[in-house]
Amino acid sequence: MQAPNNPTQPLLTHFQMGHLRLKNRLVMAPLTRRRAGKGNAPVDLNATYYSQRASAGLIIAEASQISPQGVGYPNTPGIYTNRQIEGWQKITRAVHDNNGIIFLQLWHVGRISHPLLQPNHQLPVAPSAINPGEELTTPQGKKPIETPRALRLEEISGIVEDYMQAARNAKEAGFDGVEIHAANSYLIDQFLHDSSNHRTDEYGGPIPHRARFLFEVLDAVIAVWGSNKVGIRLAPSGTRYGMNDTDPVALFDYVVTKLNDYTLAYLHLVEPMLPLDEYPHYLKEVNKHYRNIYKGILIACGNFNQEKGNDYIGMGWADLIAFGRLFIANPDLPRRFAFDVPLNKPNTDTFYNPGPTGYTDYPFMNK
């Protein structure tokens, strides 16, 4: 039984997102789970996982690399080979068979990688050769991130083309749209921030130059899908992997204002996930700020619960709310909200382990 449309809970009301009618305002956030199979291709277990959660108004499937160069973690899915496309086709069919709607998040990690994850063990690439100074998981365990290689000017258009081809592949895979991952300290975010972008060409320096790569990618993906089937994710207060900017408010005010020139499916904004005491110039309430700037549909994400999600929609600070960990542990999250039943608790020890444990074995409510 589907959760009822409940006007007393804004989260459980229908919502029109462009050409798509969402059955509720709960979005399953894109969640890296590291359960792809051989060749970083999705497998049947992944189809089960996503179809279990098809009661979400919208599923944004986990970040998927646009090329072998875009890989930053073991066993994460891609969208650049026929085998990967075929694996995703099983997932989109399973979600659609359960009356769900699903977008794919397009991903290039940039410097957040390691030669052990790169073709021919080459260095990862980035706007500039700056090491974020952290560790990440590799096939040989935790390793320090190595200083990346700065992209040559003539290489950048090739990465834009990779995004365009990945967008074509996502369409072939049967998705309802795509989201461009421009957050969480990955490649597009690295171009945006002046701490990670020291370029002196047309992709560095002033804010419009640092934002150039983002908008070139956006234009390329829209050329495939049309603007109303493309979303974008930003983290204006993100500080992961050594990210910092001298004036993040000016940076993201520029980006978000310019996004008003497009009729996007949505803008997906990540609220601060960590205390910002060390970064007093960062925004502490992202969606409230950008609700006054952005004219389109806003998704809010970041440590939301049922009460906070309803409040944000009720106050008009967001149109949709993305839930991560709650959807991991509660495949029937909209129904649990509707019937006010206790939630399963996520087992963080199994977030990235192979197999069904902590993935497809969380119980559904009995009611």
- Evaluated on CA atoms 321, 326, 332, 335, the torsion sign reads negative
Going by the DSSP 8-state scheme, the letter that residue 25 receives in this structure is S
- CA distances from residue 107 to 67, 69, 85, 163, 187 in whole angstroms, order as listed: 9, 10, 15, 8, 8
**203 noted as active-site residue:** no
Distance separating alpha carbons of residues 324 and 31, to the nearest angstrom: 7
Distance separating alpha carbons of residues 268 and 306, to the nearest angstrom: 18
25, 188, 244, 249 alpha-carbon torsion, rounded to 10°: -60
Strand, helix or coil for residue 143: strand
- CA distances from residue 137 to 62, 117, 133 in whole angstroms, order as listed: 18, 10, 14
3-class SS shares of the chain: helix, strand, coil, % to 5:
35, 15, 50
Q: Are 54 and 100 in contact (CB under 8 A)?
A: yes
Which of 49, 186, 241, 290 is an active site residue? 186
Distance separating alpha carbons of residues 90 and 47, to the nearest angstrom: 6
Token pair belonging to 71 = 């890989």
Q: Which of 200, 211, 290 is nearest to 245 (CA)?
A: 211
- Catalytic positions are 186
